[in-house]
Amino acid sequence: MDTPSAAVDIPARDAAAGSTIVATLSHSPGKLADVVDVFREHSVNMSRIRSRPSAVNAEEYDIEIDVNGVDEETFSSLITALPAKRVTHLATNDVPWFPRCEADLDESVKDVWGYGAELDADHPGFTDEAYRARREKFAETAYSTRHKDQMPRFEYNEEETATWRTIYTKLKELHPTHACKEFIAAFNLLEARGVYSPDTIPQLAEVSDFLQSSTGFRLRIAPGLISSRSFLNALAFRTFFCTSYIRHSSTPMYTPEPDVCHELLGHVPLFANLEFAQFSQAIGLASLGATDDDIKKLATLYWFTVEFGVTREEGGIRAYGAGLLSSFGELQYCTSDEPEHRPLDLEAAATQEYPITSFQPVYFVADSFANMATALHSWAMRLDRPFAVTFDPYTRRVIVLESKQEIMRLIKNVNSELSILTRVLEHVL
């Protein structure tokens, strides 16, 4: 039987200003109605309510409820009266809403900043009615696809395929002299598996399957440019928001926004690299519930690493950033002596100003993906967030570490992994 449970105390939070309450209930008929009755008795309105299976116990489920404008005395009484096994809360004025499971990413698809089906007047395809109609079709498909749906297949026409072929061929010519060895290895594997070729734009479903079998990453189609917060949040689930439309054929070597060429020829190959995948997911986990200032830092860090990162390899500069590897001109420029190359310092990179309409004057040089991931974990601990999160790869859910039960569960899992490693080392050594 569920009994009222006191909320976990989280310092420096103003519950009255707005909170998300998570009540964990057993699978018993009428439990949700009992919770609703408590809110009614306390005259507290719910602005949003959603339920999901508990990530801690398969026989329980979590009810997540948003409330606003509640005084502290009423809030405390409400929490105490809730007929739940556990109750936790996050103050929404301090902690922005963030996804806890992949189903929540359905909300992120709607958080589009720009482009998609709407094009600016200076966009190469603005006056091309046929191109605009195609973009609308791609955007509609992305908006209507949910996390449980099969990835849709796209029929690209001859003009689109010709644009892909031009870009693919030109960029691949530069791989041996300008791309890092990890990118080249992954790109060659994509070709060997028949996923990539210059004559066919890959189906995102097949690319996603390849990544999932390699590192657990998967693709999710986006209608356009997703906001920084929503885009980074998805990385926590090893999910990459990927556009499906292609740039206008009149400018095959230029696009004002991410397109399928940028995504597949720039981003995707390195998501098949385990250390790079870990680094990308670490940025995503750090973004969950982060302040707006920290989101800006994380987005800037992402810009100077995942988008425009370079590394030193055999005495020379090689690119691993997608913005470089999908740009014929900047890929040549970034490895030259013209721009400034600085050693990668995460705090410096996270606060560095950058242009978005011209080549970068400054690039940060990483020594290895493994060191990047280790440094990021330490750096992210200093961000202004009153809790920690971890990702459960079995349920593909985010666990907020703010209760003793959740922390003990994580410790138990870590101890189990350490026991396995100890036994293996005993045999090896």
Q: Where in the sequence numbering do the catalytic residues fall?
A: 262, 267, 307, 326
Cα–Cα nearest to 109, from 206, 234, 211:
234
| Secondary structure letter of residue 203 according to DSSP | P
Strand partners, 390: 399
377 is in an annotated binding site: no
89 is in an annotated binding site: no
User: Phi and psi for 25 in degrees, rounded to 5?
Assistant: -120, 160
Query: Distance between CA atoms of 277 and 268, rounded to whole angstroms?
Result: 10
Query: Distance between CA atoms of 77 and 202, rounded to whole angstroms?
Result: 56
The greatest distance separating any two alpha carbons of the chain, rounded to the nearest whole angstrom, comes to 70
199 in Cβ contact with 207 (< 8 Å): no
Cα–Cα nearest to 62, from 40, 90, 94, 92:
90
Q: Which residues of 97-134 are buried (b: 16+ CB within 10 A; e: fewer)?
A: bbbbbbebbeebbebbeebbbebeeebbbeebeebbeb
Cα–Cα nearest to 114, from 231, 218, 263:
231
248 is in an annotated binding site: no
Strand partners, 401: 388
Angle (CA) 394-91-75 rounded to 5° is 115
Name the binding residues.
262, 267, 307
Binding residues for Fe cation: 262, 267, 307
